[in-house]
Structure 1
Amino acid sequence: MFKVNKTPEPAFFQDFKRKNKLSNWDEYSNYPEIKKALREYMLLEEQDLCCPYCEILIEAETSEIEHIKPKTHFKNEFQNYNNFLTGCKGTKICGNHKGNKYSENFINPTLEDPEDYFTYDIKTGKIIPKEINGIKYEKAKETIEILNLNDSRLCGARKTIILQNINNLEYLEYIDGFSTLKKFLRENASIIY
C-alpha cells in the first residue's frame, strides 16, 4: 500500500459538478465518461498507474473509483474528490473486499503514509505491521484485514518478485507495480543477503 498525494480537484470535474447537481453516487451511472476521466486522471497524475492498496498495475478501463470513506456511510462524501482513488477490481481484495466496511483505524493513504505502518515478510510475501503493538500495529492489522492485502494471489505475486530479484536488485526497475516492495528490497539488501 502506498501514499497517494492528491492533486487539486481537476477543473473538468469541478465543471461537471457545477453543471450537474447530482444528489448521490448512483446518478453517476448516467455519466460513464466522467467516471472514466476521473479514473484516468488519478491513475496518471497521482497513482503511477497502480492500485494504491495492492500496488498492482491497472488500467482505467478495468478499474473503479474507490471511495475511501464509503459513500453509504458518509453520504456527503460521495463526490468529494479527496475521498477518491482509482482501485483495481480484483475479486476478494482491495475495494471489492472492503465494500462498505470502514473503521477509524483504517489507514487512509491520502492522509497517512502506509510505509510508516507496513513492512514485508520476505519468506511469505505477506505485508505485515511494522510495529509489534500499539496504535500503529492495530491500524496496520485492521487495514490488512479490511483490504485482504494478504490474499494468496497477492502474497504469491510478492513472493515471486522477492525470489526472482533477491540476488538481482538492479532488475527491480523493470517490474511494474509493487513500488513499496521494491523499495523495501533495495533498502534491506544488506540484511537479506
Structure 2
Amino acid sequence: MRKINKIPCPKFVNHISRNKLNKFNIWNKLDLNIKQKTRDYILKEEQKGLSAYTEKRIEKSKKLHIDHFHKRDLYPQQTFDWDNLLVDEKEKPYGADAKDKKILKCDYKWVINPVVDDPHQYFEYSANGEIIPKIGLGKYEKKRAEKTIEIFNLNHSSLVDYRKTQYKHIHDYLDAGLPKQDILSELAEAPFLSLTEFLLP
C-alpha cells in the first residue's frame, strides 16, 4: 500500500455539481460513461496503474470498479466525495473486495487510508514476500498496520508470491552491482512500488 494523492477529475466534479447528485442510492444510476472515465482517470492519473490497496498492476481491460474506501452503506454522505473514490480489481480475495466483506464501522479508526495516511510510515517487507508492520512502531501504530493487513488480506498467498519474486529480482540486480537508477529503470513498469522503495531507499 502506498500514498495516493488525489487530483479531482473536472468532468466528474462538474457532473456531480451540475446534477446535484448527493444521495447514496443515486450512485448506481450514475451515467456509465462518466463512471468509466472517472475510473480510468483515477487508475492512470492518481494510482499510476496500480491497485489502491495491493499495488498490483491492473489493466483497464480487467474487471475493475470504483471502490468507496468508506463503504456507501456505512457512510452514505461520502458517496460522491472524491477523496473516498479509489480503483481496484473485482472478485478478488484481497483488496477492496476483502475489505467490503468484513469491515465494520468501528474498524475504520484503525484501518490505514492511503489517501489520508502515509502507508510508508507503517509497513515494510520481509524476504519471503510478506508485508509486515514497520519495526519500531508504537503500540497504536502497530495495531493500525496489523488491522490494515488483516482487513485487506494483504498477505494473501498470491500477493506474497508476487512480492517474493520481485524482492528476489531486486536483490539479484543489487548483487550484480547494478546502480540504483538502472534498477529503477528496469522496474519502471513493475507493481509494488512501495516494495521497490523499501529496498532502494
Normalising TM by the smaller chain, what interval?
0.7 to 0.9
Tell me, in whole angstroms, the C-alpha distance in 2 between the residues paired with 1:162 and 1:77.
37
What letter corresponds to residue 182 of structure 1 in structure 2?
T
Change in Cα spacing, 1:155 to 1:80, as seen in structure 2 (3 Å) is same
Tell me, in whole angstroms, the C-alpha distance in 1 between the residues paired with 2:16 and 2:183.
44
TM-score normalised to the size of structure 1?
Answer: 0.87
Per the alignment, residue 153 of structure 1 pairs with: 158
Q: Could you tell me how far 1:11 is from its partner in structure 2?
A: 1.7
The question of 1:34 aligning with 2:34 is answered: yes
Q: Could you tell me how far 1:61 is from its partner in structure 2?
A: 4.0
What letter corresponds to residue 178 of structure 1 in structure 2?
F
> Which segment is superposed worse, 160-169 or 137-146?
160-169
Gaps of 5+ in 1: 188-193
Percent pairwise identity:
31
Per the alignment, residue 179 of structure 2 pairs with: none
Which secondary structure does the structure 1 equivalent of 2:74 belong to?
A: coil
Tell me, in whole angstroms, the C-alpha distance in 2 between the residues paired with 1:87 and 1:135.
27
Are the counterparts in 2 of residues 55 and 177 from structure 1 also a CA contact under 8 Å?
A: yes
Gaps of 5+ in 2: 175-181
TM-score normalised to the size of structure 2?
Answer: 0.84
Within 5 Å, which residues of 2 pair with 1:86-125?
Answer: 86-89=87-90, 91-99=92-100, 101-102=103-104, 103=107, 104-122=109-127, 124-125=128-129
Are the counterparts in 2 of residues 165 and 172 from structure 1 also a CA contact under 8 Å?
A: no
Tell me, in whole angstroms, the C-alpha distance in 1 between the residues paired with 2:36 and 2:152.
23
Are the counterparts in 2 of residues 13 and 38 from structure 1 also a CA contact under 8 Å?
A: yes
Are the counterparts in 2 of residues 43 and 86 from structure 1 also a CA contact under 8 Å?
A: yes
Q: CA RMSD in A?
A: 1.9
Q: Could you tell me how far 1:165 is from its partner in structure 2?
A: 2.7
Tell me, in whole angstroms, the C-alpha distance in 2 between the residues paired with 1:134 and 1:183.
25
Per the alignment, residue 5 of structure 1 pairs with: 5
Q: Could you tell me how far 1:28 is from its partner in structure 2?
A: 3.0
Per the alignment, residue 71 of structure 2 pairs with: 70
Are the counterparts in 2 of residues 93 and 151 from structure 1 also a CA contact under 8 Å?
A: yes
Which secondary structure does the structure 1 equivalent of 2:197 belong to?
A: helix
Tell me, in whole angstroms, the C-alpha distance in 1 between the residues paired with 2:132 and 2:153.
12
Change in Cα spacing, 1:120 to 1:34, as seen in structure 2 (3 Å) is same
The question of 1:173 aligning with 2:178 is answered: no
- In the alignment of these two chains, the number of paired residues is 185
